[in-house]
Amino acid sequence: MAMLLAQTSGQTATGGAGGGIVLFAGAILVIAGLWRVFQKAGHPGWAAIVPFYNVYILMVIAGRPGWWIVLYLIPFVNFIIAIIVSVDVATAFGKSGWFAAGLIFLPFIFYPILGFSDATYLGPPQPAPR
């Protein structure tokens, strides 16, 4: 029994460290992708590593008002705002709704694709005419 507990706890510690490495690698990929996205949109790349300011710059790129950053602090509303901003960022770079879904669900893959591809910043999406 003691041997089984020792093996189980050893596996948990190793798995936990591996999970941490994967999360760290994913964060680095998102930061690198955002850095390039910000540069393409005419903003400083270093803004990708400054908390809250990076969200503000993402709002500007998406063409949304800066005060929307407050909406990220409201539970459940933040999910809706993140979806809207991701769709607007994809549109600002001439990408489809499917690409926006990638930004939402797989940001560690799609932000680097957006940043390091030949996609160009077209400006914030224009509102639909009334």
Q: How confident is the model at residue 124 (pLDDT cuts 50, 70, 90)?
A: confident
Q: Round to whole Å and give the CA distance between 88 and 101.
A: 11
CA dist., res. 112 & res. 118, Å (int): 11
- What confidence category does residue 17 fall into, taking pLDDT thresholds of 50, 70 and 90? confident
Give every CB contact of residue 84 below 8 A, 6+ residues apart in sequence. 62, 64
Q: For residue range 62-93, what is the model confidence (pLDDT) as tens digits? A: 999 999 999 999 999 999 999 999 999 999 99
Segment holding 115, helix H or strand E: helix 107-116
